[in-house]
């Protein structure tokens, strides 16, 4: 008992100190000067005496989903912006990917600052069902009195007018016979699917096998591409599938890029690659038709080469989570890279939504052409 009492006192004292530190700290400093990082355990400071502190407080409120406080702390750029539209911008709507995401952490970096205004670049790290997603946003802050305020100038999403969109899309159903049917009387062959190109390269993350696959048949196919890496003696080093880096449901004559990643593996250890494409007959629908408009290769705000464009939903069905897969070709028409990205906002009928997919810096100069396909996940279908 005599020995336990001092230990208890020490534990209580350390806990009290940690709680105090936790409540008073604003952000955690990282190793990079000028970059502040937000996390789940940052404090409740109301100090907005600098743009960094104001930005951090705002993002912390967003992270904690304290919408009233976050909205009150920001300055609206126009009266059209409501708290509802502000919340919708952060939590998503219409079953988009953002609706299922959580702001895990953020990094802020000052771009420019004067006495009256400042520009901050924020890298938002979202945890999503399809893996971590990074979003880079620039915020404008203004000096108001003795404090700084985030200027919220995001235009609210346009309301889709009530309309009737005629839908006469095609649909394939699969009818199977029962087990009592005569042998050989109901055989339906699997769709004919062919890998039309394959390329293996080393990337920063490991070996990558990629190319394109085409459905040569007259029926839809559910397609998966598998790659097996073999060493000099024919032994299997590793095998992987294309997972989500492929358009799984291919309509007749449709072409899809595929990419199979082998993290932490170098091509120098690989003697041979065995490809295998599996195609299954599935019920499918040709709706919605999504156009990929105004694509251009450019550099983003951080100087990375990206392919950006707009998705246009030509039909009457909401696409909750659009998934863009792009194949990039060199001057010989060879696939040199396959990149993909999820669009965080739902694609509403007859509407457009911007997208961007990254291209490795080392390949940007080689890219002469590209082709983009769109995978779509709709809650109504799942």
Least gap, CB of 294 to another protein (angstroms): 4
Do 364 and 297 meet the contact criterion of CB atoms below 8 Å apart?
yes
DSSP code, position 191? P
Residue 172 touching another protein (CB under 8 A): yes
Identify the residue among 178, 187, 268, 382 touching another protein (CB under 8 A): 187
Least gap, CB of 308 to another protein (angstroms): 9
Do 284 and 251 meet the contact criterion of CB atoms below 8 Å apart?
yes
Identify the residue among 34, 183, 333, 380 touching another protein (CB under 8 A): 183
Identify the residue among 14, 17, 111, 170 touching another protein (CB under 8 A): 170
- Backbone phi, then psi, for 61, in 5-degree steps? -65, -40
Contacts with another protein in 240-279 (CB under 8 A)? 251-255
Residue 176 touching another protein (CB under 8 A): no
Task: Compare residues 92 and 288 and give the one whose CB is closer to another protein.
Answer: 288
Cα gap 33→31, rounded to integer Å:
6
CA 208 to chain centre: 20
Q: Which of 316, 301, 376 is nearest to 346 (CA)?
A: 376
Do 325 and 317 meet the contact criterion of CB atoms below 8 Å apart?
no
Q: Which of 121, 95, 94 is nearest to 110 (CA)?
A: 121
Least gap, CB of 171 to another protein (angstroms): 9
> What b-and-e string marks burial along 4-35, b requiring 16 or more CB atoms within 10 Å of the CB?
eeeeeeeeeeeeeeeeeeeeeebbeeeeeeeb
Using CB under 8 A, which of the segments 11-19, 54-62, 99-107, 218-226 binds another protein? 218-226
Using CB under 8 A, which of the segments 9-17, 108-116, 184-192, 270-278 binds another protein? 184-192
Residue 371 touching another protein (CB under 8 A): yes
Residue 288 touching another protein (CB under 8 A): no
Residue 312 touching another protein (CB under 8 A): yes
Q: Which of 306, 303, 299 is nearest to 328 (CA)?
A: 306
Binding-site size, another protein (CB under 8 A): 40
Identify the residue among 238, 240, 310, 330 touching another protein (CB under 8 A): 310
* E-state strands within 161-243: 171-172, 193-202, 206-215, 221-230, 236-241
Identify the residue among 61, 89, 107, 217 touching another protein (CB under 8 A): 217
Q: Binding residues for another protein, per CB under 8 A?
A: 168-170, 172, 182-185, 187-189, 214, 216-220, 251-255, 286, 289-296, 309-310, 312, 314, 352, 370-373
């Amino acid at each position: 008992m005599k020995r336990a009492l001092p230990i208890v006192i020490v534990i209580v004292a350390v806990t009290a100190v940690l709680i105090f530190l936790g409540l008073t700290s604003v952000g955690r400093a990282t190793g990079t000067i000028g970059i502040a990082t937000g996390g789940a355990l940052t404090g409740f400071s109301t100090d907005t005496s600098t743009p960094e502190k104001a930005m951090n407080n705002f993002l912390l409120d967003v992270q904690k989903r304290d919408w009233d406080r976050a909205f009150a702390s920001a300055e609206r750029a126009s009266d059209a912006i409501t708290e509802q539209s502000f919340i919708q911008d952060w939590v998503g709507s219409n079953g988009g990917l953002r609706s299922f995401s959580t702001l895990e952490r953020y990094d802020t970096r000052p771009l420019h600052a004067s006495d009256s205004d400042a520009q901050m670049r924020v890298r938002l790290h979202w945890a999503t069902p399809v893996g971590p997603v990074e979003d880079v946003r620039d915020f404008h802050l203004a000096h108001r009195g003795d404090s700084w305020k985030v200027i919220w100038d995001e235009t609210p999403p346009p309301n889709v007018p009530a309309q009737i969109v005629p839908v006469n899309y095609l649909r394939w159903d699969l009818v199977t016979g029962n087990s009592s049917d005569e042998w050989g009387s109901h055989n339906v062959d699997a769709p004919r699917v062919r890998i039309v190109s394959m390329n293996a390269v080393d990337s920063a993350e490991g070996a990558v096998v990629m190319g394109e696959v085409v459905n040569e048949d007259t029926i839809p196919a559910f397609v998966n591409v598998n790659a097996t890496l073999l060493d000099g003696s024919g032994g299997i080093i590793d095998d992987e599938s294309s997972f989500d880096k492929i358009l799984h449901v291919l309509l007749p004559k449709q072409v899809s890029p595929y990419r199979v990643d082998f993290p932490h593996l170098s091509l120098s250890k690989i003697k041979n690659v065995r490809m295998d494409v599996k195609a299954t007959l599935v019920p499918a629908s040709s709706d919605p038709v999504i156009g990929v408009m105004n694509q251009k290769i450019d550099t983003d705000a951080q100087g990375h080469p990206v392919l950006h464009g707009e998705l246009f939903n030509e039909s009457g069905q909401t696409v909750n989570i659009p998934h863009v897969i792009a194949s990039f070709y060199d001057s010989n028409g060879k696939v040199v890279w396959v990149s993909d990205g999820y669009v965080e906002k739902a694609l509403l009928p007859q509407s457009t939504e911007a997208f961007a997919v990254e291209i490795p810096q080392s390949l940007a100069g080689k890219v002469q052409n590209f082709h983009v396909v769109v995978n779509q996940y709709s809650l109504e279908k799942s």
